[in-house]
Structures are given as C-alpha cells and as structure tokens.
Chains A and B, each alone.
Chain A
Amino acid sequence: MDLFWIVPGLALVAALLGYGWYVSLIVRRNRAREALSSVDVQLRKRFDLIPNVLKLAQRYMDHEKGLLAEITALRARVQEPYSGQDPSAVAAHLDASRALETNLGRLFALAENYPDLKADGTVIRAQQTYEEVEGHISAARRFYNSAVGDLNNAVEIFPGSVIAGWANVRPMPFYELDEPVARQPVSVDDVMR
C-alpha cells in the first residue's frame, strides 16, 4: 500500500522538479536573447554613426583607403540578418561586430596622425559620440555575457544538461573583447613621447 503511493509520489516530485528546471532554463535562454537584442540596439547606434565617420575620414585620410573599405564591408556583414536562436549564427554576428569595433578603433587611432582631421570640430564631436556609443555597447556586452554565463552554467551542469538536451536549449557564445592591443601592457614611454 505504502509503496503503491511512494513510487507515483516520487515520480510526481521528479516531474515537478524537472519542470521547474525546464522553466528556469527557458527563462535564462530568454534573458540571454533579450540581452542579445540589447546588444543589437546598441550596435545599431554604432552602425548609424559609421557612414558619417567614414565621410569625414575620407576627406583627410587618403592613405587609409584600404581600412575604410574594410570598415564598409564589415558594416555590411554586421547588417546581414541572422537567427538569434542559432548559437553559431550569433557567434558569426558577434565576430563581425568585434572586427568592426577593432577596425573603428584603428581608424580613430590612425586619425591621430592627421592634424587637420584631429582639429575638425565635426570630427571631435563624432569621436565623442563614438566613445559614448562604445560605452553603451560595452555595457550591453556585459549584460549579455552575464545572461549567457547564467544560461551556460544551467545548460552544462547535470541534470540541467539532460533537460537542456530534451528541450533543445543550447549554450550561447560569449561576446568577448577581441583586441590583442588592449591585452598588451601599455608602454608609458610610448604614450608620453
């Protein structure tokens, strides 16, 4: 009699726990997608800024045509639609954004070599806006990585890994800074020269 109730009771508890785990996985996945869309909102701001920056740069930076063309191509790649539910598509989208960010950083660093460009009021304002936008992108990236960290922990740790497999919830890629220059130690001598 007791066993008659204990077995279905345990099965019910296991089912409820499993359902709870499933719900938390879906909540985390949706939070990561929400964070990804926040990243896209911020990337859009950078995206809108690029044509103006390129137009200004073209006026002065004749020798950097290769870099300007590369930025234009990367902008087009970032603009391509992608599926937010496919981790590999998300990774490719984030890779393109990262490359665009690196090249824009290079562009502004090279602008230091062009005194006329540096002195242009519009360029100064554009650079300030760019820094503002980069600040927001960095914040959105931190939000996204935090949400992805939570999701990936839940997906990769047992028994979450089993339930995630059934529910087809997959880990998502982190949006990491891919700028080797930023990881290198700064030489004060070079900066102060």
Chain B
Amino acid sequence: MTAASPHPGFTDRLAGFDGHWRSIEPELRRIEAGRWISLVGGGVLCVLALPAFVLGIALADWLFDPAAGSDGPWLAGALLGAGTFMVGGYIAHAPSRNAGLLIKERVARFLGFSYQEDASDFPLGAFDGGDILPSYSGKSLQDHIRGEVSGVPIAMCDAELTERRGSGKSSRTVTVFRGPLVVSVFPKPSAGRTIVVPDGGAIGNFFAGRGQDVGQRVKLESPDFERAFEVYSSDQVEARYLLTPTMMERLLAFRARFGSRIRLAFAERQLLIAIDDRRDWFPDPGLFQKLTDPALVREQAEEIARITEIVETLKLNAETRI
C-alpha cells in the first residue's frame, strides 16, 4: 500500500498513514454494511419514477377540470416523477457520499489540514481580478482544505465555474474552469499585481489581455520559461523581483508536475494558483465501489498530500527569499 513518489516531502507526509487508516476502517465498515440496502432502496425508487410520473398525471387529471386543457397534469406528473427519481438517487448515493466525507475529513486531519465540504467561505474574491480566471456566471465550490505546510498557510478548494452562452433556445451552460484554486502566502511582498499564464503562441499572446487590465507584458531572460509562460505585471521591476531566475526554474518544475494549464497571480503577500486540469480532485467513491478498499483511502490521501507539493515545489517557505 505504499506508493513510490519522486517528491521526498510527499512520501514523508504519508509515512505512518497505513496505521492511521485502520482507525477509519470500523466506521467505513459500518457504512459499507448499509451500502447495498441504500443502493437497492434508491434503485427501486428510481425505477418507480416512471409510475410516479403516470400517477401524477392521473391524480392531477382527477383533481382538476380536464376541460380546461392546461399543462397542469403533465407538470404534476413531471414533478412527482423527477422528485421520486431524485430522492432515489440521493438514497443510493448516501453511503458513498458519507464515506467520501469521512475519508476526506480524516485524511486531511492526518496531514495537518482542516476539511470542510462547503467551500462558500473560500476567498474567491482574491481571484476576481479577471486575469487568471475566465469570466463566469455560475460557481460551485467544495472541499475547502486549510492548514499550514512547513509554516506556510495555504487554503484550497475544488472549483467548477460555468458560464451561460448563447441566447434563446441555443443558450447552454459551459464549464469554463474545473480544478483546484489555491491561496497561499508568498515570502516577498508586492505592491502591484503580477500574473503568470500559459504561453498562447504568437497569435494567442498578441490577443491575450486585450480589453483586460492585466498590465504590461514582462519579457524574461529564460528561453524555457518564455516558451512555457507569459507574464504580465503592473510593475516591470516588481515582476522581476518576484520572478528571480530561481523562481522561474521552480515554476517550470511546478508546470512539469501539475500540467501546463496553470495560472498564478502574485498580489500583496499572496500567491494565487488556479489549475484548470478539468477534473475533480477529491471525488466521492463510485456507487459500486467497495468502501472498505484501502486503495480508496490511499488515493484520497495522495490527492490531499499533493497540496503540500505546491508549497514544496515552489519553496514558498524559503527564508532566503530567492
């Protein structure tokens, strides 16, 4: 049950986890015992959604005057059918959801973090400069994890941002961002705002930032960094003060670890990170997954431990301030 990792901090943090898992096991076993009952009960309710739909129509037809020719009976049928289906789905998913919450909460605590399913108090406002997140009209924030890594405060949540596009019948909801948002402390203060975004190629870079107040483009010395990222800042000198050659190397290592769809902003003493990797970092177990499977817990532990990698890869606790 041990996973090899090239990051020493990562494995160090998970040392002793297998012993900790045994303390969660009895509770997971209790939830697992009720899983099939919930699954069958919820499944039956889902199947009953169709008869409920028909029943709703019949009841409404009987209660109200059919001569009126309204959509009332259809609406009543749809409501009853959909309601039954939703309740069935909720009951079927309840054990997986409860197990997921338990695992996340305990694993986070083991790693020295606090966990809260609701992330409505996550400081999303800090990201609202319109420079590292796309414009959105809907948001879903969950899995709020807070704590300290090597003395550096860090908070993150799993975010899904959506936007309504088109109008009338062609209007649809599009996911514009899916992945973790991270707020941490950066050892150097900054008066302005500096953002680091993926390189968009010659044409993409030409149009990037048009119509937005992202500051001036900052051209840095490292060809590798310039190929990977574009930097914009309200202060050319400050951008270079923050992005030293060493920091540029760390950001390249960070990109190699977390993928190319990362965006960062340095503002005051904060470092904001948005990783648009289009996946749920902390998914609940599947409906048909055995909840007492140790690999399930280990998987969550590794995902939460990745947060520590952010601080360790970027060396945010570096007292040398380079």
Contacts and interface: CB of A to CB of B under 8 A. Distances in A.
Q: Do A and B come from one complex?
A: yes
A35 B216 CA distance: 13
A38 interface: yes
B234 interface: no
Given A142-B221, A146-B219, A146-B221, A42 B237 contact: yes
B272 to A, nearest CB: 21
B238 A139 contact: yes
- Please classify how large the interface on chain A is, using the bins under 10, 10 to 19, 20 to 34, 35 or more: 10 to 19
Contact of A38 (B219, B221, B237): B237
A135 B321 contact: yes
B241 A139 contact: yes
A44 interface: no
B219 A140 contact: no
B250 interface: no
A156 B244 CA distance: 29
Interface string A139-161: 11011001000000000000000
B260 interface: no
Nearest to A142: B240
B236 interface: yes
Contacts of B219: 146
Central interface residue in A35, A139, A146, by most chain B CB within 10 Å: A139
A135 B237 CA distance: 10
Contacts of B240: 138-140, 142-143
A42 B241 CA distance: 11
A136 B192 CA distance: 14
Interface of B: 188, 219-221, 236-241, 244, 321
Nearest to B241: A139
A83 to B, nearest CB: 22
A140 B237 contact: yes
Contacts of A138: 240-241, 244
Nearest to A143: B236
Nearest to A136: B241
Interface string A66-103: 00000000000000000000000000000000000000
Interface in A21-46: 35, 38, 42
A50 to B, nearest CB: 20
Contact of A135 (B220, B236, B239, B241): B241
Interface in A135-193: 135-136, 138-140, 142-143, 146
A146 B321 CA distance: 23
A38 B236 contact: yes
13 contacts: A35-B236, A38-B236, A131-B321, A132-B321, A135-B188, A138-B241, A138-B244, A139-B237, A139-B239, A139-B244, A140-B237, A142-B221, A143-B240
A136 B321 contact: no
A178 to B, nearest CB: 18
Contacts of A132: 321
Contacts of B241: 135-136, 138-139
Contacts of B188: 135
Central interface residue in A35, A38, A136, A143, by most chain B CB within 10 Å: A143
B249 to A, nearest CB: 15
Nearest to A41: B237
A49 to B, nearest CB: 17
Nearest to A140: B237
A57 B120 CA distance: 54
A35 B239 CA distance: 13
A79 B321 CA distance: 29
A38 B321 CA distance: 21
**A-B pairs with lowest CB-CB distance, top 3:** A139-B240, A139-B241, A142-B240
